[in-house]
Amino acid sequence: MSSIDTWVSEFRARSAQLPGAALPWLAAQRQHAIERFADEGWPTRRHPRWQHTSLAFMEQQEFAPAAQPVDAAAALAALRGDETGHWLVFVGGRFAASLSDIGPLPSGALVLSLAEALESHSEDIEAAFGNAADGDSPAALNTALAADGAFVRLAPGVALDAPLHLVSIAGASEASRHLRHLVVAGSGAQATVVEHYIGGGQSASLTTAVTRIMAEADARITHLKLQQEAEQAIHLASIASVQARGAHFASHSLSFGARLARNDIRTRFDGEGCEALLNGLYHVDGRRHVDHHTCIDHARPLGNSREFYRGLLDGQSRGVFTGRVVVARDAQRSDAMQRCDNLLLSRQAEADARPELEIYADDVKCAHGATVGEIDEDSLFYLQSRGLDEIHARRLLTYAFAAEALERIELMPLRSRARAALLARLPGGELLEELL
């Protein structure tokens, strides 16, 4: 069972063995976090940030380890292909050194597993770890239980030459995994971080993930998340970034797997002239559910934010988007734009898109728009009138709708990867393979 009490006892059983358990600050944060979780419980629709996604069912939900053995090496090989770059692999929420391939890093770049870094860099981690009050109760559960993740620190001006891939593979022996990734980028540093989530068998399992990104002045961080967990998985994640003056943050959230996936993505402009791009693409079918809850906090002037979310909703699925934008009183000349477009592939699918603008400054540009539509009949007819059969034409138009989100991914190998992941989800994707 996943009732609150189960998690509290799990915490009691595990906490002494968690990496860094001997660090007083960390033990205290974990203790506060589990208390907060026990106090608040799973969010329900009564919670203002969870109006379209209730986790009340979690009280009753059973989670069990995968019934079959997991060949993590094979899963990784299939995922990685021949792509170079820096790879950190986590199996069952724990760093798997033998599968990882960090490779040579430029000087000034530090990449460690969180468990390792707690031994050698605990002060840096304390500053970046976050605390029990962050996010909502699922994030607090992560704060209490996260045993591993990545710790990335870039000295000022250091640029990672290739993407850093953080791969989470569901293991055979655990029913839940809790990852915490910390990225600290010095001024002018640059990196692309890719989080992958795969695996999870026939039985229900839980992944929680918290990613915290601190970008100093003029740093440029691109974050891409490719969530392809098994269809019984529950995936609860948050990505939180803080940007100093002139920092640039891009987030691409591709959510294709899991029975229920929730991504809280927020960034705060802590200095003037920050830029953020939040790009998202999701596909759900059956009775699956996906929710992106975003918040851009224009705390300082001259910030520019762009949000684009696109959803493909099939079966009786539901796609939820909330775009909260806060512009502080002195954040003059802020420019915020937001769009959410959903394509319904079935009459029973449902889309919710909601902007939440809170604007206290007067010299600002804010725009938002949302659409929900079906496949365009004129386009369908045009394609068929050129000899394409209806199924091919529908798939092509579905793909085309999603492709716009892919085009915002600048690095070509990542874009191709995202495209392949999408085509693998779409029925008849192989027909469209030559688009690759």
Partner 1 sequence: MLDINNLQASVEGKAILKGLDLHVKAGEVHAIMGPNGSGKSTLAQVMAGREAFSVDGGSVTWDGQDLLAMPIEERARAGLFLAFQYPVEIPGVSNAYFLKAAVNAVRKHRGLPEFDAMDFLTRVKAEMKAVGMKEEFLYRSVNEGFSGGEKKRNEVLQMALLEPRLAILDETDSGLDIDALKVVADGVNRLRSPDRALIVITHYQRLLDYIVPDQVHVLSHGRIVRSGGRELALELEEKGYGWIGDSGEVHHQPPAAGAAS
Q: Does 379 participate in binding partner 1 (rule CB under 8 A)? A: yes
d(CA 382, CA 353): 30
Least spacing, CB of residue 381 vs partner 1, in Å? 6
Among 172, 397, 411, 420, contact with partner 1 (rule: CB under 8 A):
397
Q: Is 381 among the residues that bind partner 1 (CB under 8 A)?
A: yes
Structure tokens at 166: 């953080």
Q: Is 375 in the site for partner 1 (CB under 8 A)?
A: no
Question: Binding to partner 1 by residue 416, rule CB under 8 A?
Answer: no
Q: Please say whether the beta carbons of 277 and 306 come within 8 A.
A: yes
CA–CA gap between residue 339 and residue 309 (Å, rounded)? 6
From edge to edge, which strands make up the β-sheet containing 220-229?
A: 94-95, 86-91, 164-169, 190-199, 220-229, 248-255, 275-284, 304-313, 334-344, 364-373
- Contact between 123 and partner 1 (CB under 8 A)? no
Contact call for residue 430 and partner 1 (CB under 8 A): no
| Position among 389, 424, 427, 430 found at the interface with partner 1 (CB under 8 A) | 389
Among the candidate windows 69-77, 267-275, 328-336, 372-380, which touches partner 1 by CB under 8 A?
A: 372-380
Nearer to partner 1, 347 or 386 (CB): 386
Helix (H, G, I), strand (E, B) or coil at 157: coil
Q: Does residue 403 interact with partner 1 by CB under 8 A?
A: yes
Report the distance separating Cα 38 and Cα 16, nearest Å. 19
Pick 360 or 381: Cβ nearer partner 1: 381
Which residue in the set 388, 408, 411, 420 belongs to the binding site for partner 1 (CB under 8 A)?
Answer: 388
Q: Does 401 bind partner 1 (CB under 8 A)?
A: yes
Report the distance separating Cα 45 and Cα 27, nearest Å.
31
In whole angstroms, how close is the CB of 113 to partner 1 at the nearest point?
A: 39
Contact status: 392 vs partner 1 (CB under 8 A): yes
Q: What is the x/- site pattern for partner 1, positions 324-363, by CB under 8 A?
A: ----------------------------------------
* Phi, psi for residue 166 in degrees, rounded to 5: -115, 110
Closest CA to 293 of 275, 280, 276: 280
Q: 166: which residues sit within 8 A by CB, 6+ positions away?
A: 88, 90, 149, 150, 179, 181, 193, 194, 195, 196
Q: In whole angstroms, what is the distance from residue 91 CA to residue 96 CA?
A: 6
Cβ contact 323:356 at 8 Å:
yes
The alpha carbon of 159 is separated from its chain's Cα centroid by a whole number of angstroms, namely: 22
Residue 88 in tokens: 């950190």
Q: According to the binding rule CB under 8 A, does residue 404 interact with partner 1?
A: yes
Binding-site member from 6, 31, 51, 384 for partner 1 (CB under 8 A): 384
Tell me whether residue 102 or residue 397 sits nearer to partner 1 (CB atom). 397
Does 382 sit near partner 1 (CB under 8 A)? yes
Q: How far is the CB of 345 from partner 1 (least distance, A)?
A: 15
Shortest Cβ 281–partner 1 spacing (Å): 12
CB 171 within 8 A of CB 70: yes
Mutual angle of helices 412-425 and 390-406, in 10-degree steps: 140
Among 402, 409, 423, 426, binds partner 1 (CB under 8 A): 402
* Contact set for partner 1, span 173-232 (CB under 8 A): none
Site for partner 1 (CB under 8 A): how many residues? 25
Question: Given the complex with partner 1, which of 182 and 393 has the nearer CB atom?
Answer: 393
Residue 374 interacting with partner 1 (CB under 8 A): no
Give the nearest distance from C-beta 57 to partner 1 in angstroms.
36
Short-list 115, 113, 94, 237, CA closest to 170: 94
Binding positions for partner 1, rule: CB under 8 A: 376-379, 381-390, 392, 396-397, 399-404, 434-435
